[in-house]
A and B are shown apart, each in its own frame.
Chain A
Amino acid sequence: MDIFEGLVSGFYQAFSFEVLPYLIVGSVFGLIIGIIPGLSGHFAMAMLIPFLYKMDPAPGIAFLLAAHATVAQGGGLTAILFSTPGTGQNAATLLDGPPMREQGKGGIAVGAAMTSCFLGATFGAIALALLLPVLQQVVLFFGPPEIFVLSFLALTFIAVLGKEDMTRSLIAGLLGLLIAMVGIDNVTNQQRYTFGLLELYDGLPLVPVILGLFAVAEMFDLFVKGGSLVDRQHGTLSAKETQKQIFQGIGIAFKKWWLVLRCSAIGTTIGIIPGLGSAPAAFIAYGHAKQTSRSKETFGKGNIEGVIGSEAANDAVEGGALASTVAFGIPGSSSMAILLGGLFILGLETGVDMVTTDVDIVFVMIFTVIFGNFIGTIFGMFLVNPMARATSIRASIMVPILIAVVVTGAYAAQGSLVDIVVALVFGVFGYLMKILNYSRAALLIGYVLGHAVEKNLYLATQLKGNLFFLSPIPLSLCLITIGFIAYNIYGLVSDQKKR
């Protein structure tokens, strides 16, 4: 399928009656999850994964990705109105959003933030579409040895560039790979770590592991913290005033199109690099907006350019992150790892197949990101105040509701009670990882990549012998990996010496 055919087919699929309802429901769900502090994009995706077993590829992808696409919009809203970022990626919005609210311009900030998110996401999605012809060529150079080494490079990037400690993240990544080895080896039929349990022959099930790590772990956190989720002392603006200001904010975001474009480019570029993610992209874009602004001194005191810059970069990241996920099967973040898991469930293969024969699916993703964010903006424009009420739900009520949904989701995937136990075990583990600063993203990516790593290691040794890594591309990737780790260790050691 060529790119134009894929574009047309993807468009028709994304806007068909079979897909559109899922896209809309997913977007609204993501928006609400984004508004609730403590629940993030990967939580939204984890909750939807169990439903994929009953869905076709296009609706499944639209459902999953739409939920993820709008989370940042919801999070920005909470950051501005309640001084609490709905998700970690909205932390940069806290610098100028709340001061604007205190000046009585909360609605303007919300409107500008939501529109910037939409424009940023659109930029990222278009960038992905434009990258497709390049990816189609590049991906042909990546055989089993290259993919094997690239997987380790990606894990190293995630461990080093992530917000968690490097050693801890590397441990998490390797643990993820180890967990993926549970089950029967497809090549030799050797049972590995199954303890004779029939339920483990196919390996640890994906859905309960994801739900445990990201949903049950959050429940533990909410339960231990208790109380209400946000400080509501600021309250919300009147509905009429908010609406008026939101439209003003939308206008300002469009007027600052050049800033949106530059910050979106920053976001998309950072998205391609595994491990960096939205939060650093937002801060770098914020810094850029400040540097290039004529009114630098008002940054941090309620400058709308600060909100626009960080929110545009926030959502533009997705286009870049999707590129490495669909082309090489290497997810750059936990959300992309969940998406990759979702693609497996839907029976889709990433890599050469995805960018050559299933181009329509890539375009379904692109249109989902664009239209999902558009829906998020529309809902945000008209329903800011009612949706913001989601933050007033007490943890004492929300935790039991979410636990009910999570437990049901874990069971529903395969109809097995063992899966609920798996979700619980990984929930405990995920919670410990969260509070001890171990990267759950690295563990999940290791787990999702595990089979690819093993398969490609086997194929690489069969095709090129034990010294397969001496071929030009694998050797270059190995050197980058080693150099990257060495450079960071050197940085850490010299930092310690300075102290």
Chain B
Amino acid sequence: MAQKTTASTPDKFDSVAKYNALEMGLLFFIAVVALAALITAIGYDFSSSKPLFVILVPLVMLIGVQIYRANKAAKFRTSLQINRAAFRGEIRNFQVAVRFFCMLLALIVCIYVVGHYVGLMLAMFYLIRWHGGESLKVSLLVPAITTLLIFLLFDQVFGIELFQGQIYRYFAGYQIW
């Protein structure tokens, strides 16, 4: 992690403009969700939709106010440019966050396929070795010890059985599809 961040080049937009652009993106997303929720609520039984109206009407109004404020702080066109640059991979922090998100998605897929313990070990090894640039010894020892401690704590102490993975389930005779 540390090596990668120091090695990357600084991007051309200042941080205030970047945060504004990010906020614009987030607000538009929330506005779409809130409007969709409001329209959907109209179709519900009135008793069920009453609290939704109590929440959604002021929410939509506040989102409008915040979009106006964000637009006043930075021009909409600049925000759009920055968001495009982010999706092209030109904003370093955004890129790092997306990489981390993808890694977590991969971890979930790993857990689904090979099981919780193996999935965790693989993900931890990948993060420590390839992103963290740690030595092979540390990259092997830390995941092994952490996984062992998780097994002892969850499985042995609290009796919580973690997901065994589809491969195990397939060979154990489960119908997996």
Contact = CB atoms under 8 A, between A and B. Distances in A.
A167 interface: yes
Contacts of B90: none
Given A436-B22, A436-B26, A181 B4 contact: no
Contacts of B59: 171, 174-175, 178
A230 to B, nearest CB: 14
Interface stretch (A79-87, A309-317, A350-358, A401-409): A401-409
A428 interface: yes
B142 A223 contact: no
Nearest to A169: B62
A416 to B, nearest CB: 9
Nearest to B44: A190
B30 interface: yes
B4, B40, B59, most chain A CB atoms within 10 A: B59
Contact of A188 (B48, B56, B163): B48
Contact of A192 (B48, B58, B123): B48
Interface stretch (A198-206, A261-269, A321-329, A417-425): A417-425
Contacts of A395: 1-2
A458 B52 CA distance: 12
Contacts of B69: 167
B173 interface: no
User: In which size bucket is the chain B interface?
Assistant: 35 or more
A496 to B, nearest CB: 11
Contacts of A192: 41, 44, 48, 52
A54 B160 contact: yes
Given A168-B66, A400-B142, A407-B107, A394 B132 contact: yes
A415 B124 CA distance: 21
B54 A457 contact: yes
Contacts, number: 170
A399 B127 contact: yes
A187 interface: yes
A401 B48 contact: no
Contacts of B22: 432, 435-436
Nearest to B124: A400
Nearest to B99: A223
A25 B5 CA distance: 36
B167 to A, nearest CB: 15
A372 to B, nearest CB: 21
Interface in A349-398: 394-397
Secondary structure at chain A's binding surface: helix, strand, loop or mixed?
A: helix
Contact of A411 (B50, B104, B162): B162
Nearest to A170: B62
Interface in A175-227: 175, 177-178, 181, 185, 187-188, 190, 192-193, 216, 219-220, 223-227
Interface in B117-151: 120, 123-124, 127-128, 131-134, 138, 142-143, 146-147, 150
A51 interface: yes
Interface residues of A, number: 56
A135 B157 CA distance: 39
A190 B44 CA distance: 7
A428 B132 contact: no
B115 to A, nearest CB: 11
Contact of B96 (A181, A224, A420): A224
Interface string A59-98: 0000000000000000000000000000000000000000
B48 A187 contact: yes
A161 to B, nearest CB: 17
A397 B55 contact: no
B45 interface: yes
A284 interface: no
A37 B111 CA distance: 30
A473 interface: no
Given A190-B45, A400-B124, A454 B111 contact: no
Contact of B134 (A185, A223, A396, A436): A396
B133 A436 contact: no
Contact of A174 (B50, B55, B160): B55
B48 A190 contact: yes
A412 interface: yes
A283 interface: no
Contacts of A399: 1, 127
Contacts of A400: 123-124, 127-128, 132, 142-143, 146
Given A170-B62, A420-B111, A435-B19, 6 more contacts: A171-B30, A188-B48, A404-B123, A417-B163, A436-B19, A453-B51
6 closest A-B pairs (Cβ-Cβ)? Answer: A396-B132, A190-B48, A226-B1, A174-B59, A400-B124, A400-B127
Interface of B: 1-2, 4-5, 19, 22-23, 26, 30, 34, 37, 40-41, 44-45, 47-48, 50-52, 54-56, 58-59, 62-63, 65-66, 69, 93, 96-97, 100-101, 104-105, 107-108, 111-112, 116, 120, 123-124, 127-128, 131-134, 138, 142-143, 146-147, 150, 154, 158-163
12 contacts: A167-B69, A175-B59, A216-B104, A220-B97, A220-B100, A224-B100, A396-B127, A400-B142, A408-B120, A411-B116, A417-B163, A454-B51
Interface of A: 51, 54, 167-168, 170-171, 174-175, 177-178, 181, 185, 187-188, 190, 192-193, 216, 219-220, 223-228, 394-397, 399-401, 403-405, 407-408, 411-412, 415, 417, 420-421, 424, 427-428, 431-432, 435-436, 453-454, 457-458, 461
